[in-house]
Amino acid sequence: MKKFCAALALLALSWPLIGSTAPVDDAVSELQRDWEVVRYQTPASERVRRFELLAEKARQVSATHAGHSEPLVWEGIIVSSLAGEKGGLGALGLAKQAKALYEQAIAINGKALDGSAYNSLGVLYYKVPGWPLAFGDKGKAEELLKKALEINPRGIDSNFFYGEFLIENKRTSEGIAYLERALQAPPRSGRNIADTGRRDEIRQLLAKAAGK
């Protein structure tokens, strides 16, 4: 469970920056900025409450911009972040909520945000416990992670999470190749903090894999 909750917090680093080209993009960009403040600048003791408030704000944005995939993806990100902060059985309920949000986003436009909904949903399938506690399924996880890679083959996150999945499933040499590809991913505009953190995580995982 501890590994699962930590993974949810990590997963929240995964999504690309939104441009401001339409009202829905402006609203989603605001959610993203708010999330960054909570994730990176808020004391741990205050994050649960702040993410709870932000999740409600995200729900309202999704309702206001019904029919758009992007608000649903970011609502899922925020709910996943809240799950990571809360931990325990409450995290499983929130993970199921995030799953439903990603599925709705995919039904509308799975390619939005470089296929982030596929990537995010794949990680949930990989990280959560299986039946009877939750919906974890490694086969389904790999299917979704590969779909995300089809959409965004050079992405830092799509390569990182598939590489991690492979290593954790004892396919180490395959996983290392994807992690090295993730290190070569082009920087994302406005995502310097996230890119730096992700590259640190990639190097740590590569070092761990090399030591096995």
Q: What are phi and psi of 155, to 5 degrees?
A: -70, 145
> 158: domain range?
153-212
Q: What is the pLDDT of residue 15?
A: 47
For residues 82 and 43, what is the distance between their CA atoms, to the nearest angstrom? 14
Q: What is the pLDDT of residue 188?
A: 83
Residue after which a domain boundary falls, among 124, 148, 172: 148
Residue after which a domain boundary falls, among 148, 176, 203: 148
For residues 84 and 137, membership in a common domain is answered with: yes
Confidence at 19, pLDDT banded by 50, 70, 90 = very low
In the chain, how many H helices and how many E strands?
10, 0
- Residue 186 gets the label, from left (phi > 0), alpha (psi -120 to 50) or beta, of beta
For residues 162 and 70, membership in a common domain is answered with: no
For residues 115 and 199, membership in a common domain is answered with: no
Most confident of 3-7, 155-159, 195-199: 155-159
Containing 102, the helix (H) or strand (E) segment is helix 88-109
For residues 10 and 57, membership in a common domain is answered with: yes
Residue after which a domain boundary falls, among 108, 126, 148: 148
For 101-119, how does the pLDDT look when each residue is reduced to its tens digit (9 = 90+)?
Answer: 999 999 999 999 899 999 9
For 117-175, how does the pLDDT look when each residue is reduced to its tens digit (9 = 90+)?
Answer: 999 999 999 988 898 888 999 999 999 999 999 999 999 999 999 999 999 999 999 99
| CA 177, chain centre distance (Å) | 21
Return the CATH number at 18: 1.25.40
For residues 114 and 186, membership in a common domain is answered with: no
Is 116 within 8 Å of 76 (Cβ atoms)? no
Q: What is the pLDDT of residue 30?
A: 84
Q: What is the pLDDT of residue 20?
A: 40
Q: How many domains does the chain have?
A: 2
For residues 137 and 161, membership in a common domain is answered with: no
State both tokens at 99.
């799953």
Q: How many residues does the chain have?
A: 212
- Among 35, 147, 17, 137, which residue's Cα sits nearest to residue 85? 35
pTM of the model: 0.84
For residues 9 and 95, what is the distance between their CA atoms, to the nearest angstrom? 11
For residues 144 and 158, membership in a common domain is answered with: no
For residues 123 and 49, membership in a common domain is answered with: yes
For residues 111 and 11, membership in a common domain is answered with: yes
Q: Is the pLDDT of residue 18 over 60?
A: no
Residue 2 contacts by C-beta under 8 Å, 6 or more apart in sequence? Answer: 87
For residues 59 and 31, membership in a common domain is answered with: yes
For residues 59 and 128, membership in a common domain is answered with: yes
Confidence at 193, pLDDT banded by 50, 70, 90 = confident
For residues 136 and 115, what is the distance between their CA atoms, to the nearest angstrom? 20
For residues 140 and 165, membership in a common domain is answered with: no
For 44-97, how does the pLDDT look when each residue is reduced to its tens digit (9 = 90+)?
Answer: 999 999 999 999 999 999 999 999 999 999 999 899 889 989 888 879 999 999
